[in-house]
């Protein structure tokens, strides 16, 4: 009998604290609570038992210098998921400057932080899943290989391997002008992705997309999945749908051969209206 698929919920770029000042000087409507509301909506399937694990692809917070109550507010939805018995894996992003502030407030036995290059393992109904990752790298083009090796992923025996990042990967697209990332110190080359991984789960790019081929149309060593942000953070995202990904992974006979079925789940967002 074939093992049942591993169900992964991937959410990213929640930017809690955006347009939500601690002590507002002007009383006016703000979109800050919308980010937290959509974050909670995205995690609802995990609380209903529809996910075996949750990956947050980074930029949990809107910046690195925040007040303690905001960290507690941002971590609370993840704690509820972990309390329900669903493990959570969190990648620190560039807005956190590669680390979660007030780390003691982010501690929970069921929340696993990629605070440095490392590999976490979990057994899901007899399927051994290895999740490797590291915090955001500013110069990822040069540092990616060394950081990946430092995770120790090759020493872990696993049926499914996932690489958890918060990075730009060659071929990802953003904005109303459909800009494509190709080069630059922050952009990871497509050919540098390791074929032994079944999928790359990443944040940082705010448009939801699944990359399966490189810029020349050749298959990627591993598919790259971006869930996008849960809300619009700028006018450049005004035409984009926002949401999260529910992913089913059925182990294959060899490394990197799992059957991958990603499903984008749309979240409600306020319409972006520009003033003349």
pLDDT in tens, 155-176: 999 999 999 999 999 999 999 9
Residue 1: the pLDDT is 58
> In the prediction, which pLDDT does 9 show?
98
pLDDT, average across residues 39-53: 98
Residue 256 has pLDDT above 90, yes or no: no
Give dist(CA 146, CA 224) in Å, integer: 20
Q: What is the mean pLDDT of residues 234-257?
A: 93
**231 close to 242: Cβ distance less than 8 angstroms:** yes
Residue 276: is its pLDDT beyond 70?
A: no
Neighbouring CB atoms inside 10 A of 202's CB total 27
Neighbours of 182 (CB within 10 A): 13
Tell me the mean pLDDT in the region 105-109. Answer: 95
Q: What does the block give as tokens for 129?
A: 């899943």
- Per-residue burial over 23-49, b if 16 or more Cβ lie within 10 Å, else e, is eeeeeeeeebebbbebbebbbebbeee
CA 112/CA 32 separation, integer angstroms: 26
DSSP letter at 272 equals P
**pTM as predicted:** 0.96
Burial of 81 (0-12, 13-18, 19+ CB in 10 A): buried
pLDDT band at 67 (very low <50, low <70, confident <90, very high): very high
| Cα-based distances in Å from 193 to 91, 118, 202, 258 | 18, 17, 12, 16
**What is the spatial distance between Cα 34 and Cα 231, in angstroms, rounded to a whole number?**
7
Q: Which two tokens stand for residue 165?
A: 């990042």
Please state, in angstroms and rounded to a whole number, the distance separating the CA atoms of residues 12 and 98. 14
């Amino acid at each position: 009998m074939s093992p049942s698929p591993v169900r992964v919920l991937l959410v990213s770029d929640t930017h809690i604290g955006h347009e939500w000042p601690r002590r507002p000087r002007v009383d006016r409507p703000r979109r800050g609570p919308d980010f937290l509301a959509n974050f909670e909506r995205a995690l609802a399937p995990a609380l209903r038992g529809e996910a075996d694990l949750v990956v947050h692809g980074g930029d949990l917070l809107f910046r690195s210098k925040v007040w303690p109550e905001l960290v507690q507010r941002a971590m609370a939805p993840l704690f509820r998921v972990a309390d329900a018995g669903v493990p959570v894996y969190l990648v620190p992003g560039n807005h956190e400057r590669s680390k979660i502030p007030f780390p003691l407030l982010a501690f929970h036995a069921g929340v696993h932080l990629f605070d440095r290059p490392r590999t976490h393992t979990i057994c899901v109904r007899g399927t051994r899943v290895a999740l490797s990752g590291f915090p955001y790298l500013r110069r990822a083009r040069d540092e990616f290989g060394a950081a990946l090796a430092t995770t120790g992923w090759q020493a872990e025996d696993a049926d499914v391997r996932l690489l958890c990042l918060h990075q730009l990967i060659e071929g990802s697209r953003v904005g109303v002008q459909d800009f494509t990332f190709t080069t630059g110190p922050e952009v990871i080359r497509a050919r540098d992705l390791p074929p032994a991984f079944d999928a790359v789960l990443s944040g940082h790019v705010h448009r939801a997309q699944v990359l399966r081929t490189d810029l020349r149309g050749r298959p990627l060593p591993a598919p790259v999945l971006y869930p996008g942000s849960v809300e619009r953070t700028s006018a450049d995202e005004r035409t984009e749908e926002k949401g999260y990904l529910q992913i089913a992974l059925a182990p294959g006979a060899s490394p990197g051969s799992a059957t991958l079925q990603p499903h984008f789940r749309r979240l409600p967002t306020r319409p972006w209206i520009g003033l003349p």
